[in-house]
Amino acid sequence: MDTTRMEALIGMVTVLGILVLLVLPAVIGVMRDRRIDRQLREAEQASALDQRGHQDQKSSSKPTVPSTATWYAEGRRSKKLVSS
């Protein structure tokens, strides 16, 4: 191999290396986006299956108790009605 061919080979390898460095982040981003899309699709399918299987179930199985503020407000309202 003479000097001209060696310089051409080094130049070509350098250009290909720079091209790989420029394209690599885009390829990684596309792969990441596809993975996220697949996970979202799987979550939607699981959610749809879960909703179809549990349509009659209420949002919470434990009973709710009014807060202190509700008790206080109800007492104040009843006192107002009685005094009028």
pTM assigned to the model: 0.48
pLDDT tops 60 at residue 5: yes
3-state secondary structure the chain: CCHHHHHHHHHHHHHHHHHHHHHHHHHHHHHHHHHHHHHHHHHHHHHHHHHHHCCCCCCCCCCCCCCHHHHHHHHHHHHHHHHC
On whether residue 44 sits in a domain, the answer given is yes
- Give a yes or no: residue 76 inside a domain: no
- Residue 37 domain boundaries: 24-49
Residue 66's identity, in one-letter code, is P
Half-sphere exposure of 31 (CA within 13 A, CB side): 6
Q: Is residue 55 part of a domain?
A: no
Residue 17 lies in a domain: no
Tell me how many domains the chain contains.
Answer: 1
What's the mean pLDDT in 6-22?
97
Residue 70 placed within a domain: no
Give tens-digit pLDDT for 28-62: 999 999 999 999 999 999 888 888 776 555 555 66
Residue 40 is assigned to a structural domain of this protein:
yes
Residue 35 lies in a domain: yes
The one-letter amino acid at 41: R
CA distance 42 to 61: 27
Of residues 1 and 27, more confidently modeled: 27
